[in-house]
Amino acid sequence: MSGRDRERVAAWGQELRAVHRRLRDALQFAREAVEDGAATESLAKNLALFCWGFCTALNGHHSSEDSKLFPLVLREAPDLASTIGKLVQDHNMIAYLIVDLEKALSAKSERDVLLRHLDGIEAVMETHFRFEEKQLVVLLDGMAGPIDDLDKTQLFGPIA
């Protein structure tokens, strides 16, 4: 494998970390929008924009992992089936938390209620990201073959 090919393959694990950083940033923007309050119509629009954007990005990331990335990982390392099962379980838990946040947004809930929802998502998300990176980054950095035929958004979602 040439140096350039090795760089391309090694980029997948680092891309996963970069996507996680972008999702953390999106959560922070949503949190700041809530903390700034939604007393005016323009702030309410910003709040909705950042929260809905974060929810969409996180769900898209997890959907792409479940449908594209994880099957490739399992072909490469079938012994990671229980790890992938745990990650998918986390995705489902986070999806439920996002639905609850979306309901709170639709109901125009108070600032503290929205922040509690974001806190819950952040806690699960952080634990999930750390576990996922610990388990998959090295493997992804070493994977070749079918993974290189995919675009990063297919593997990591629209925020990639």
Domains and CATH numbers, the chain: 3-154 (1.20.120)
| Cα–Cα distance, 8 to 14 (Å, whole number) | 10
Amino acid at 139: L
Contacts of 22 (CB under 8 A, 6+ apart): 57, 159
Nearest-CA neighbor of 59 among 109, 112, 101?
A: 101
Global pTM value: 0.86
| The pLDDT value given to residue 38 | 54
From the number of C-beta atoms within 10 Å of its C-beta (0-12, 13-18, 19+), residue 135 rates as: middle
Expressed in angstroms, the distance from the first to the final Cα of the chain is 25
Contacts of 9 (CB under 8 A, 6+ apart): 1, 141, 142, 143, 144, 147, 148
Q: Digits of tens for pLDDT over the chain (160 positions)?
A: 334 444 444 478 889 999 999 999 999 988 888 887 655 455 556 677 778 889 999 999 999 999 999 999 999 999 999 999 999 999 999 999 999 998 988 888 888 898 999 999 999 999 999 999 999 999 998 886 667 677 889 889 999 8
| Cα–Cα distance, 128 to 109 (Å, whole number) | 27
| The pLDDT value given to residue 45 | 62
| The pLDDT value given to residue 43 | 52
* Gyration radius from the chain CA atoms: 17
| The pLDDT value given to residue 146 | 63
Asked if residue 69 lies in contact with residue 156, where contact means CB atoms within 8 angstroms, the answer is yes
Residue 117: count of CB within 10 angstroms of its CB: 22
Nearest-CA neighbor of 141 among 3, 16, 1, 2?
A: 16
Distance from CA of residue 69 to its chain's centroid? 13
Nearest-CA neighbor of 64 among 131, 155, 1, 133?
A: 155
